[in-house]
Amino acid sequence: MLLYMEDPLRFAFSKEFNDEIPKSEQYGILGVPIDSTTTYLPGARFGSNAIREASYNLERYHLNLDKELSKELYDLGNMQVVHGNIQKTSHYLESTIQEVKDLEIIPITLGGEHSISYSIVKALGAQDVTVLHFDAHMDLLNAYQGEKYSHATVMRRIYDLNPEGIIQVGIRSGTKDESKFAQQAGVKYYTSSWVKENLTEMENVISSIKGPVYVTVDIDVLDPAYAPSVSTPCTGGLNPLELQRLIFSLQDKNVVGFDLMEVSSRCMGDITSINAAQVVYDFICL
C-alpha cells in the first residue's frame, strides 16, 4: 500500500530539494502527519500522503487557468512528528518552517490536524499578514476541553499573534462566544450560505486584500458530499468549483504560506484527497 511507504510519494510534478538550484519563486510541499487533538473522526495523520497520492491524477497543464506550473515546486517530505504530543510537534514545526523560510521557499503544508497552522504563522511572522481562513468552523475558542492548543482553538492562537487581519470563509459552525469574540476582535467571517449567494463579492474581498497573505484551508470548508473524510464534518458547505474560484482570487497576491489541513482519507481514490489535491494544485498553478 503506497500510503505506508517509508519514502512517501512526492506531490505531482515536484522535485527533490536541491539547494544549489538558483533561487527563484519556489514552493515547498511539507507534510505534517499528526492528529493528536482530533475529537471526532481520527485519521488526519494520513492526509499528507493521501493528498500526494491523489495529486497523481492531475495534469501538468491546468485547463481552467490555461497555464502550466511555472514556479519551482519541491517536495520536502514529511516532518517527523511526536504522536500524542502536539506541543512538541508544534515546536519542531516552528523551527522547520523557519528553515524553509530561510531557504526562500514558500511553504505549502499538508496536514495533519489544523492546530499546527499556528506554528507555521508564528514562524513566518504574523506582522502585516492577513490570514485567509477557509473552514466550516471558526476555531476561535480560547480553550477547548481545557487545552489552549487544539484544532478548535487554532484561529484564536493565531489571533493572539496579532496579524494584520483574519478573514474566515465558509463558516457554518461556532459557539455564541466565538461569534461574539469575532465581532469584538474584528475577525471578519463570511458564512457558507452568504458565500454561496455572493460569490463574486467574496472574490472581490479576497482580491482586494493588501499586503502579505497566509492561506489556511481546512478541507471541511467543502460540503461533506465532496469532503467526507474529515475530522469534524459539517453540512451545508461550499462545492469544489466555488472554492476553486475563491482560490483563483489569490492571483497576484503576495502569499507567504499556504496550508491544507484535516484530510483524513485512509484509502486511495478517496474524494476528499482528490479535492484537496486539486485545491493545492489550483493555488500553485496561479
User: Which of residues 136 and 274 has its CB atom nearest to Mn ion in the complex?
Assistant: 136
Name the residue nearer to Mn ion (CB basis): 220 or 223. Answer: 220
Q: In angstroms, give the least distance from the CB of 137 to Mn ion.
A: 4
Q: Which residue, chain included where needed, has cell 469532503?
A: 227
Binding mask 125-164 for Mn ion (x = CB under 5 A): ----------xxx---------------------------
Residue 222 C-beta: closest distance to Mn ion, Å:
10
Rounded CA gap, 265 and 279, in Å? 15
Smallest separation (angstroms) from Mn ion to the CB of 173: 8
**Which one, of 195, 196, 142, lies nearest residue 167 by Cα?**
195
Nearest residue to 97 (alpha-carbon basis) of 9, 53, 50, 31 = 31
Q: What sign for the dihedral angle of Cα 221, 222, 224, 229?
A: negative
Site size for Mn ion, by CB under 5 A? 5
Shortest Cβ distance from residue 79 to Mn ion (Å)?
22
- Which three cell numbers, joined as nine digits, stand for 38? 482530533
**Nearest 5 degrees, angle CA 21-CA 22-CA 24?**
115
For residues 88-117, which are near Mn ion according to CB under 5 A?
none
Question: 54, 2 in Cβ contact below 8 A?
Answer: no
Cβ nearer to Mn ion, comparing 218 with 282: 218
- The smaller minimum CB distance to Mn ion, of residues 135 and 259, is found at 135
Instruction: Name the H helices within 125-255.
Output: 154-160, 176-185, 192-197, 199-207, 240-248
Q: In angstroms, give the least distance from the CB of 214 to Mn ion.
A: 17
Peptide linkage before 112 cis (omega within 30 of 0): yes
**Interface pattern 206-235 for Mn ion (x via CB under 5 A):** ------------x-x---------------
Whichever of 14 and 231 has its CB closer to Mn ion, that residue is 231
Q: Which of residues 235-274 bind Mn ion (CB under 5 A)?
A: none
Which stretches of the chain bind Mn ion, using CB under 5 A?
Answer: 135-137, 218, 220
